[in-house]
Copies of this chain bind each other. A is one copy, B any other.
Amino acid sequence: MNSQEREKLNGRKIAILAMDGFEQSELFEPLEAMKAQGAICHIISLKSGEIKAWHEGNWGKTISVDRTLDEADANDYNALFIPGGVINPDKLRNEESALRFTKAFFGQKKPVASICHGPQVLISAKVVEGRKMTSYPSIRIDLENAGANFKDQEVVVDDGLVTSRSPEDLPAFIDKLIEEVAEGKHEEQHA
């Protein structure tokens, strides 16, 4: 078996959209897993420099931003990943640039994965209607009111859209995230 066969995401470019307050494990664990499969991952944010994680009730590690939303183009990426945290998606969903960027992946039929409170961004981007999804329980009602078909499962896959509930679901989430990104475009994914 050569290295290309082993690396499920060899050369795939992944946009990780995040802001201060992302849940530390929910960004770093998928990031490391995708890199281990050969993916090129870029941190995309509302600001340049670094963004800060949230970890066990306080600020945690930082990570460098690779592209601001002004510099980033969805056309350059094969997939989008939005981690959770309570503060992170609240900041992202309040900015049109983040919503346009997110919506573009759905329009381009590319895989999108999100966990915990990350799906709040998908509500604001108006891409959840009729989709099978899950999330952190506190925002379930918001997803349902937005027309999503909510499932209380560790991971829900719906034609290129991968969602999970919380850090406890990370192993199942990462498996499905890698599988869907490896498959490439999904014709049923839509804006």
Contact = CB atoms under 8 A, between A and B. Distances in A.
Contact of A86 (B86, B126, B137): B86
A144 to B, nearest CB: 9
Interface in A115-160: 117, 120, 123-124, 126, 137-138, 141-142, 145-146
What is the count of identical protomers in the complex?
A: 2
B145 A124 contact: no
A46 to B, nearest CB: 13
A64 interface: no
A7 interface: no
A150 to B, nearest CB: 13
A124 B146 contact: no
Interface of A: 21, 58-59, 86-87, 90-91, 93-94, 117, 120, 123-124, 126, 137-138, 141-142, 145-146
Given A123-B142, A145-B145, 12 more contacts: A58-B59, A86-B86, A90-B117, A90-B138, A91-B138, A93-B138, A94-B138, A120-B138, A123-B145, A124-B138, A142-B145, A145-B146
